[in-house]
Amino acid sequence: MTQNVIAGRENAIRTLRRLAGRRPQTEHCEFCSSNLSPSHRHLLEIETRRVVCVCDPCALRFENVIGRWKLIPRDPITLSDFNLTEAEWEGFALPINLAFFFQSTPAKKVVAMYPSPAGATESLLSLGAWDALVVANPILKRMQSDVEALLVKRLGASPEYYIAPIDMCFELVGIIRLHWRGFSGGPDVWKEIGGFFDKLKSMTRHPTAMSNAEEACHA
């Protein structure tokens, strides 16, 4: 295993623990060390997928900037008219009904990941299956590479779909890693997952531009 792979894995584990764990009363910007507000921004180190906390002035330095770091958006978007059939979902061959998909600049492809007791697990993704999903849901073309993901929850009676900031997806992975017990996870982890999606729903906004159908007509 190369040092880069080891370093990337260690960075990912530290990120998951920080996002899912109990945070200190006072957090500091990881660039300038100033105190952070509860609603502070996050940056993603694209190559390693490391998430860092930053103050608003430091965050502004990375707005619309392409480089080592990328500013993570604040708000998730709910996709109430998302088109995905049971057969299409099964075509992704994911072992659980909870996953997120994002365009990875270093990998030069769309990456599918699902939470597990061991952390975020990458799954092989058929390019054809993803392309078909984008055709059915053109709004996915608007996702920002690396920092936004399609988050899919098909655990209950009504599937839920979001375009979510990548730090929230990592937070969900960290929650499952932290609270999973035994073979089935135990009651605590499912309570925590429910709480995560309750919080996500309270933060979501609906797309302000065209719907799937309208975007398809203009594509």
Q: pLDDT averaged over the chain?
A: 85
Among 24, 49, 71, which residue terminates a domain?
71
- The closest of 161, 117, 111, 109 to 139, measured between CA atoms, is 161
Q: What is the pLDDT of residue 159?
A: 95
Q: What is the pLDDT of residue 7?
A: 38
- Mean pLDDT on 10-33: 65
Among 33, 48, 71, which residue terminates a domain?
71
- Do 57 and 83 share a structural domain? no
- Do 136 and 154 share a structural domain? yes
Among 41, 71, 101, which residue terminates a domain?
71
Q: How many structural domains comprise the chain? A: 2
Listed in sequence order, the residues at least 6 apart from 49 whose beta carbon sits closer than 8 Å to its beta carbon are: 8, 11, 12, 15, 166, 170
Q: What is the pLDDT of residue 96?
A: 92
| Domain around 43 | 3-71
Cα–Cα distance between 206 and 203 in angstroms, integer?
10
The answer to whether residues 169 and 12 touch, using CB atoms and an 8 Å cutoff, is no
Strand-pair category, 98-104 with 41-45: unpaired
Cα–Cα distance between 173 and 55 in angstroms, integer?
24
